[in-house]
Structure 1
C-alpha cells in the first residue's frame, strides 16, 4: 500500500505580495490533485508578514472552489482564538459547499505573540478549556449540541472530520482519549515525536469517529533534479529563517547568513528542521520511508520552505513521483 502523502501549504508571501501567494496556492492544489496527494492543509497564523493563511477558512474556500477532488483543511485552526460555534459554522459551511472534502485540524497554541493575542481579544486562559471546546465543536457537527437550543447552521449533522494537532504529549493524550486522529508537528517541533506517538497509540480509545489510531507526522522536504540544487534551496531556506529570527526584515550578505547559522539562532533553526528530506527523488524517498517508520506514521504531511514559486511547485511534483503516488483518475 502506498504511504499517503499530504501537503502543508505555508502560504508564503514573497516580494510579489499576498495575491500571488493565493494564486500559487490554487495552482499547487490543482496540480497536487492530479499528482495523487491526499490532502492540503493551511495553518492559522496572525501578524506574520510572510504568511497569507491568517483567514484560514476563507483560503480553504477559495482553493476548494478552484479544485475538484483533493481534501482541504486547517492544519490547524487555533481553537482558543475562536468560539466552537463560529468554527462549526465556518467549517459546516465549507463541508456543505464541498461535501466530503473538508478536514478540521485543531490546535491550542495562540499562533501569535502576546500583543497579537490582545489584538485578537484572546483570553490567555482559553487554552485551558481546549478539551471541552473540542467536544463542544464535535457535538455541533454531530447535531448533538451541548448547549440547549443552540445549533450550528450550517454545521449541524455535517460530521466534519476533526484532527488533534500537537507538538507535545498533551495533544497525544487528548487525541487518544477522544478517539481522534493525531497530527504531530515534527516539521518544526521534533523533540517529542516518538514519545507522543507511542503514548497516543498506547492510550487510544476507539470512538464513533475512529476505530483505530491514525497518526500524521509532519516532515520537511526539498526535492530537486540535482543534489546541488536541492542543497542550495535548503541552504537559502535555512538562511532566511535564521535571519527572520534574529532581525526580521533585514537583509544579510551570504557571509553574514553563514555566521547566523553558526549562532544559537541558527542552531535553533537547524534543530527545528531536524526532520528534513533534501535531495533528488531516490534520496528523498529513502529518507521519508525511514522517517515514516521511525515516527510510526500512517501518513506524512510535507512542508517546504522553498520561497521561489517555480522551485516550490517542482519540488512537490518530484516528491509525488518519488513516492509513486496514485495519480488521480
Structure 2
C-alpha cells in the first residue's frame, strides 16, 4: 500500500509527507486508538489518508469531491495508495454510511451525495453537485436516535478520559520517568562516534513538554520534594528541559537588557564626545577672542602714546614759536625805541639848529635895539 507512516520515539507520531498530515501527539493517538481509528499494532493510520484524500479537498475546495475517478485521477491530493475496501471502512467509521455496521462511528453526519444534502443551504453552490429539487429525503427517526446514542457515547468517553483517577496518572508518570531515566542512561553510556544506523535505532529523549502535550498534563501531577534527592544525571529529562528553557528565557532577557544598555552607553558616549567637541570649540574661540583683545589693547596703547608724543611735540613747537615771537617782539620794540629816540634827537637837533639860525640873529637884532 505504499508509504504508511513514520513513528518517532520522542512521544509524537508523524504521518508520511505524502499524506500531508500534521504531527499527532500521544494524547491524540491514544484517543484515536480508543475510538478504533488506529489498530493496536500501530501498523497503519488511515485516518490522515482519508482526511487528505476525501475530507480536506471538500473543505478547502481544490476540486469537487464527486469528480474523483480513482487512483488515476489527476486532481488527487495524495499519492499514497489506499484500497477501496480500506477507504470504505474509513468512510463507515467517519459517517453513518451503514447503520448495520458494528464499527464505532465518530460522526452522525451522512456523506453528502444526491440523496443526502446538507441540512442548511450553502452560499457556495459550486462546491456541491447539481441536484433536483425532489432529491431531498426526510430524516429517519431511527437514524436520529442512533445518531444521538453515538454522540452520547463519544461525550461519555471524553468525560471518562478527562476524569481519570489520580493513581493512574501517578502510575503513568512514574513509568514515563523510568523511561526517561533509561533514555538518559543509554545516552550517557553510548559512545560519541556512532554511525547513522545507530542514531536511527537509538531512542532520542522526549520532546519538551507543552500545554497541549500528553506529558505536560500528567507529569505535573507527580512533582514532589523527592526530586531534590535524586542526582542530576538521574532526574527526569523534562526537569532538565524546563531548566534549559528557563535559562534560555533568562538569557534572552539579559541579552535584550545588555543590548539596551549598550545602546544607552553608546548614546551617552556620543553625547560626551559632542560636549567635548563643543567645549574645545568654545576654548579655541575664547583664545582667539583673547588674542584679538590683546591686539586691540596694544593698538589703543600705541594710539595713546602717539597722541601723547604729538601733544608734546606740539607743545614744544608752540614754546619755540612763542619764544620766537617774543624775540621778534623784543627786536621790534628796540627798533621802535631807537627810531623814536633818533626822531626825538633829530627834532631837538633841528630845533636847536633852527634856533641857532633864526632866533639868535633876531635876538641879537632886538638886543641891539633894546
TM-score, length of structure 1 as denominator length:
0.22
Larger helix share, 1 or 2: 2
| TM-score, normalisation: structure 2 | 0.20
Q: Which has the larger radius of gyration?
A: 2
Q: Taking CA–CA contacts closer than 8 Å with sequence separation of 6 or more, which of the two structures ends up with the larger relative contact order?
A: 1
- Relative to its length, the structure with more strand (as a share) is 1
